[in-house]
Amino acid sequence: MRGHPNSIYARDVEYVLHPVTNARKHEEIGPIVIDRGEGIYVYDDLGNRYIEALAGLWSVAVGFGEKRLVEAASRQMSKLPYYHTFSHKTNEPSVELAERLVKMTPARLRRAFFTNSGSEANDSVIKMVWYYNNARGLRQKKKFISRTNAYHGITIASGSLTGLPANQRDFDLPFVPVRHVTCPHYYRFAEPGETEEAFADRLAAELEATILEEGPDTVAAFIGEPLMGAGGVLPPPATYWEKIQAVCRRHDVLIVADEVINGFGRLGTMFACDYYGIDSDIMVLSKQITSSYQPLAAVMISHELYEGIADNSGKIGTFGHGFTASGHPVPAAVALENLDIIEEKNLVENARRVGEVMQDELRKLADHPLVGEVRGVGLIAGVELVADKATKAKFNPVGKVGAQVFSRAHEHGLIIRAIGDTIAFCPPLIITEDQVRDMVERFRVTLDETAAMVRETEVAAL
């Protein structure tokens, strides 16, 4: 481990339990201390510079070190550093942000409810849907349908919606009533000779069969990321969302679009619902809403949901849900400034235009001996590594080669994310074409070095 025993490295290992980390391995290798950021780059405490190719955690849209966001937070801290929105209280930034989000999002969505994170937002979605259906007298209509490989958060409730084994194993999840249907990943789950549209037909039929098996009077909502993120960057097959929505509408099943990763320009449209034509009853927003300079999430709900919730609160006497920081004025002020920057700098269009370059450059790696599939839209992409390109066989154990790529990339000044053996890219929306080419070249060198390691160690296929 680097540094003196009293250094930040030793103290981190001694006192911090890290999320999504092997704690015993962390004790051995210690942390990389990120000290500062500028644009698409971050610097560690030794002065090494890295391209942050995942925008932190899919989230720093306007880049690191954006002084306008710092100043927006400072101004609001000086004026009103905190207040709640319980019991008829409000503050100007939260009202302005709610109005702006309603006007930005699809027309069906008419109200905003604020939380601190996407996990809390999806936890709130479950409670809102239950509350709404109880108000309608549909007290059995409580089940959710999600997908395998989905990521919807990490609380007990939202973690139940998530479809990733590592986030559920030994946490006794799922805890709430949820069924997980097939992940819409064409490369992995389509049958031989099956077209994308036929694959989408089969998945829609599976959803309908699941609803009928459970009983439409018990199924409350279908939740999905328009383009799945943390499960491996998985764009849906053609016509998928059109067909899924039709099934939901036939059976009075609410549609929840989880745009925590997709929202605010990532796919080259303001929202992925715009890109895929999704007319959801609920939309969940976070991450790029403030570029993660402050914790904030929003649950956008339809007029129909609002009316049901409002009526029930009138009957009961309150809508008994909320957080200390719901509608916190400082994150709201930062969000407003962040959205100003996204619009003024035309970052949605930049994501579309530069995203095309990123997709093209990454697809040039499709012939690399380790690469099975390159996929993505706009400024989000996944490169899946395989042991055998012809059979799509995975490495055994899954994740060993991805971890090697992740580690080697640091040596080339590149921070990426390994999701098993899929390497994820999601750089800040401010990235330029030249920076994209630099990022991909660093990745290519990393792949070549990893391929040599794989040959030497003869990593097996599953």
Structure tokens at 27: 């004790």
Residue 455: per-residue pLDDT: 83
Establish if 218 belongs to a structural domain: yes
Tens of pLDDT, residues 197-229: 999 999 999 999 999 999 999 999 999 999 999
Residue 456: per-residue pLDDT: 80
Helix, strand, coil shares of the chain, percent, nearest 5, are 45, 20, 40
Establish if 259 belongs to a structural domain: yes
Tens of pLDDT, residues 7-36: 999 999 999 999 999 999 999 999 999 999
Tens of pLDDT, residues 30-57: 999 999 999 999 999 999 999 999 999 9
Tens of pLDDT, residues 74-91: 999 999 999 999 999 999
Tens of pLDDT, residues 379-431: 999 999 999 999 999 999 999 999 999 999 999 999 999 999 999 999 999 99
CATH number at residue 440: 3.90.1150.10
Measure the CA–CA gap between 306 and 303, rounded to whole angstroms.
Answer: 5
Instruction: Work out the number of other CB atoms within 10 angstroms of the CB of residue 45.
Output: 16
Examine the domain organization and report whether 300 and 360 are in the same domain.
no
Asked if residues 225 and 151 have their Cβ atoms less than 8 Å apart, the reply is yes
Token pair 């990745």 is found at 443
Domain of residue 397 covers 32-62+346-461
Q: Please check the confidence at residue 458 and state whether its pLDDT lies above 70.
A: no
> In whole numbers, what is the pLDDT of the chain averaged over residues?
96
Residue 145: per-residue pLDDT: 98
Tens of pLDDT, residues 372-389: 999 999 999 999 999 999
Nearest to 98 by CA among 343, 313, 345, 326: 326
Please provide the DSSP assignment of 370-409 as one string.
TEEEEEEETTEEEEEE-SBTTTTBPEESTTHHHHHHHHHH
Establish if 16 belongs to a structural domain: no
Residue 125: per-residue pLDDT: 98
Domain boundary residue, one of 344, 362, 382: 344
Examine the domain organization and report whether 295 and 427 are in the same domain.
no
Looking at the 3D structure of the chain, how many domains does it have? 2
Examine the domain organization and report whether 57 and 193 are in the same domain.
no
Tens of pLDDT, residues 278-312: 999 999 999 999 999 999 999 999 999 999 999 99
Domain boundary residue, one of 309, 344, 379: 344
Examine the domain organization and report whether 77 and 167 are in the same domain.
yes
pLDDT class of 182 with cuts at 50, 70, 90:
very high
Establish if 203 belongs to a structural domain: yes
Residue 459: per-residue pLDDT: 59
Examine the domain organization and report whether 144 and 293 are in the same domain.
yes
The residues pairing with 460 across neighbouring beta strands, listed in sequence order, are 396
Please provide the DSSP assignment of 127-181 as one string.
HHHHHHHHHTT-TT--EEEEETT----SSHHHHHH---GGGTTTTT---S-EEEE
Examine the domain organization and report whether 56 and 80 are in the same domain.
no
Examine the domain organization and report whether 52 and 80 are in the same domain.
no
The residues pairing with 385 across neighbouring beta strands, listed in sequence order, are 371
Domain boundary residue, one of 344, 371, 392: 344
Q: Please check the confidence at residue 462 and state whether its pLDDT lies above 80.
A: no
Nearest to 55 by CA among 441, 438, 379: 379
Examine the domain organization and report whether 203 and 250 are in the same domain.
yes
Establish if 2 belongs to a structural domain: no
CATH number at residue 115: 3.40.640.10
Q: Which residue has the higher pLDDT, 3 or 133?
A: 133
Find the mean pLDDT for residues 314-324: 97
Examine the domain organization and report whether 202 and 320 are in the same domain.
yes
Establish if 320 belongs to a structural domain: yes
Examine the domain organization and report whether 123 and 256 are in the same domain.
yes
Examine the domain organization and report whether 245 and 350 are in the same domain.
no
Establish if 78 belongs to a structural domain: yes
Tens of pLDDT, residues 102-114: 999 999 999 999 9
Establish if 171 belongs to a structural domain: yes
Examine the domain organization and report whether 152 and 261 are in the same domain.
yes
